[in-house]
């Protein structure tokens, strides 16, 4: 498949318009905004950068790579079980399983169905990209960009910050996304782990917020 075709599929699969419901999830960021931990574009950039390098973004990238490289259905099934077990809170579990199942349903339009049912989002997406023959580092760049862009969209609505600051934040995150994608492309499951504890706590507290804009 030519490079242009890979790019076209990634633009579609990780677009905000792809029907996985990503716009409804905040990965705990809504709590962080409500509690004053993230109040402007500078703090938003630091928060997302930390997630990509050390938190859920990194763990998801490692799981994505493992799913991309999985050789057979039993290996994918084991990986899906591991990814589900790693969810640090109920809301994160709902977030990843809901989006993963929706992604697999929508990706059937391209004839890709390596998994079915409620599967963690990075495992679902990585498996589909692997079956499609998309180079892993290219796919990881698109995946991490989608992760970051969705959180910026949350902040634009919830802080709120303006669209200009939102775009500037995505531009600032480009080196982090590229470096993390390169690192994740070489990763194994031994590299799994995260240390963004404040984000995990924010996700746990989210379910008790009195008024919520987002599901997680």
CA distance 41 to 38: 8
CA distance 216 to 203: 7
Token code pair at residue 8: 């076209």
**pLDDT for the residue numbered 216:** 85
Confidence of residue 194 (pLDDT cuts 50, 70, 90): confident
Confidence of residue 93 (pLDDT cuts 50, 70, 90): very high
Other Cβ atoms closer than 10 A to 82: 15
Looking at per-residue pLDDT, the higher value among 207 and 98 belongs to: 98
pLDDT at 59 over 90: yes
Other Cβ atoms closer than 10 A to 26: 27
Under a CB-based contact definition with an 8 Å cutoff, are residues 95 and 206 in contact?
Answer: no
Q: What is the mean pLDDT of the chain?
A: 93
| Assigned CATH class of 3-16+27-206 | mainly alpha
Averaged pLDDT for residues 130-146: 96
Confidence of residue 165 (pLDDT cuts 50, 70, 90): very high
Angle between helices 121-131 and 73-85 (to 10 degrees): 160
Peptide bond into 163 cis (omega under 30): no
Confidence of residue 29 (pLDDT cuts 50, 70, 90): very high
Place of tokens 């599901």: 215
Averaged pLDDT for residues 116-137: 95
**pLDDT for the residue numbered 173:** 98
Alpha helices for 20-162 (secondary structure H): 29-34, 41-54, 56-69, 73-85, 90-107, 121-131, 136-158
| Structural domain spans, the chain | 3-16+27-206
CA distance 113 to 107: 7
CA distance 76 to 201: 29
**pLDDT for the residue numbered 98:** 95
**pLDDT for the residue numbered 120:** 96
From the list 82, 100, 205, 197, the residue with the least C-alpha distance to 143 is 100
Under a CB-based contact definition with an 8 Å cutoff, are residues 101 and 119 in contact?
Answer: yes
Averaged pLDDT for residues 85-104: 93
**pLDDT for the residue numbered 197:** 85
pLDDT above 90 covers what percent of the chain?
78
**pLDDT for the residue numbered 211:** 81
Confidence of residue 203 (pLDDT cuts 50, 70, 90): confident
Range of lowest pLDDT (92-96, 199-203, 208-212): 208-212
């Amino acid at each position: 498949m030519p490079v242009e075709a890979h790019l076209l599929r990634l633009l579609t699969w990780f677009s905000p318009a792809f029907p996985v419901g990503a716009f409804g999830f905040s990965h705990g960021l809504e709590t962080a905004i409500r509690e004053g931990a993230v109040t402007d574009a500078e703090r938003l950039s630091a928060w997302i950068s930390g997630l990509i390098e050390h938190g859920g973004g990194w763990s998801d990238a490692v799981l994505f790579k493992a799913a991309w490289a999985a050789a057979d259905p039993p290996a994918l099934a084991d990986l899906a079980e591991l990814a589900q077990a790693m969810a640090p809170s109920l809301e994160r579990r709902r977030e990843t399983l809901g989006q993963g199942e929706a992604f697999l349903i929508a990706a059937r339009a391209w004839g890709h169905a390596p998994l079915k049912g409620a599967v963690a989002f990075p495992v679902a997406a990585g498996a589909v990209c692997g079956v499609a023959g998309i180079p892993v580092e290219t796919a990881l760049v698109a995946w991490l960009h989608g992760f970051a862009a969705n959180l910026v969209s949350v902040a634009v609505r919830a802080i709120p910050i303006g669209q200009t600051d939102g775009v500037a934040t995505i531009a600032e995150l480009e080196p982090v996304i590229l470096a993390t994608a390169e690192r994740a492309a070489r990763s194994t499951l031994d590299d799994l782990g995260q240390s963004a504890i404040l984000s995990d706590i924010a996700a746990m507290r989210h379910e008790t917020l009195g008024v919520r804009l987002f599901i997680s």
